[in-house]
Amino acid sequence: MKKEVFKAVKVSENVYWVGAIDWSVRDFHGYLTSRGTTYNAYLVLADKITLIDTVKAPFKDELMGRIASIVDPKDIDIIISNHSEMDHSGCLTDVMEMVEPEKVYASGMGVKNLAHHFGPDLAIEAVKDGQTVSLGNMDIVFMETRMLHWPDSMFSYLPGEKLLFSQDGFGMHLASYERFADEIDDSILDYEAAKYFANILMPYAALIPKVAEKIAKAGFEPAVIAPDHGPIWRTSEDIEHILNSYAIWSAQKPEAKAVVVYDTMWNATDEMSRAVCEGLESSGVHVKLMPLKGSHRSDVVTEVLDAGALLVGSPTINNNLFPTLADVLSYLKGLKPKNILGAAFGSYGWSGEAVPQIEKIFEEMKIELGGESVKCQYVPTEEDLVKCHELGAAVGKKVMDSLE
């Protein structure tokens, strides 16, 4: 079981991290995980030894090695599945077969989802929202957090340790040997936590204040928040910071910032984008220019999270929006950003469908246009560039006015 290689990490008096580090993953269903990730699992050394979540299937040996560095895996009495997505349940059935636990718990929807993954004959017991299960010398309390970010998602809380197992909430994709947030540079934590929220949780932002209220009403007072990805939050300052960040992000309150995303074939749309940016900058907003030859869709979304405007520039190809822009807008549409202005611009050779297609997508996303779209044929003239500058200035002014 490689217990001499992989070691558990102590989290609290009776809880150990026994997860796995994935240094090489770079794609998480469309999300660029440029810093890798972790699949966190936790071992609770109660009278009834309990495993919280498992790991992605290829990392089973790492999980079992870390468990074996503390206890014989066959001594595990209970397994809890907080979230059925396969990066947390991929080796669940293998672990169940090896360990033969007394009980395996999941939410009601978790039981259904795991049956879809592994077949209907799994011996998994559904727990209810608010239910408490005794581990002998300590209790664990379950809280359903539906659609944060799957229908089956739930938190588990150890009152005796003041430790919240938050599954995909408060996590990030970040591979490191440092297990705790206070050991990692704040700028990395802030960016990766924002990126995770933007790309995973943004569609469910309206639910987050309700979950926060539910946690408070339940009397949970976590001194440690242990997510299923990334570092563990264990200082009061870090916990306050991540909770405040979630409150800000879930409100999707725009800042004085505009994101300009574009692609180009013969540099005409590139030239237009720079004129747009000059106009935006003249209005006082911070501008983030993101050419898609060097920007990934998930990084664009991260920048959009706190932006007041998104301006999209595309050439027309084969009577259509340029493919890279179609990709970004399709991805963004599913994430449902709120409180953001839109604008479109671009060049064309023959027909010029790209700009109206961008406008149509914005309409479908319920994004208000912040200025009159600009399109030019072939190479932009001085007059075209002035119009681009005016577009940027008009959108920027609307952003600034909305913040007053």
CA-closest candidate to residue 372, choices 319, 269, 384, 340? 384
Task: Verify whether residue 83 is a known catalytic residue.
Answer: yes
Q: Which of these is catalytic: 144, 161, 168, 270? A: 168
Q: Which of these is catalytic: 62, 87, 152, 353? A: 87
Q: Which two tokens stand for residue 289?
A: 């220019």
Place of tokens 């898609």: 292
Q: Which of these is catalytic: 16, 83, 353, 389? A: 83
Task: Verify whether residue 229 is a known catalytic residue.
Answer: yes
Task: Verify whether residue 85 is a known catalytic residue.
Answer: yes
Task: Verify whether residue 87 is a known catalytic residue.
Answer: yes
Q: Which of these is catalytic: 53, 62, 85, 303? A: 85
Q: Which of these is catalytic: 149, 173, 204, 271? A: 149
Task: Verify whether residue 173 is a known catalytic residue.
Answer: no
Q: Which of these is catalytic: 29, 116, 383, 404? A: 29
Task: Verify whether residue 296 is a known catalytic residue.
Answer: no
* CA 365 to chain centroid: 20
Task: Verify whether residue 29 is a known catalytic residue.
Answer: yes
Amino acid residing at 279: G
Task: Verify whether residue 221 is a known catalytic residue.
Answer: no
Q: Which of these is catalytic: 229, 238, 246, 348? A: 229
Q: Which two tokens stand for residue 260?
A: 């300009």
Q: Which of these is catalytic: 196, 204, 246, 262? A: 196
Q: Give every CB contact of residue 364 below 8 A, 6+ residues apart in sequence.
A: 333
| Catalytic residue positions, numbered | 29, 83, 85, 87, 149, 168, 196, 229
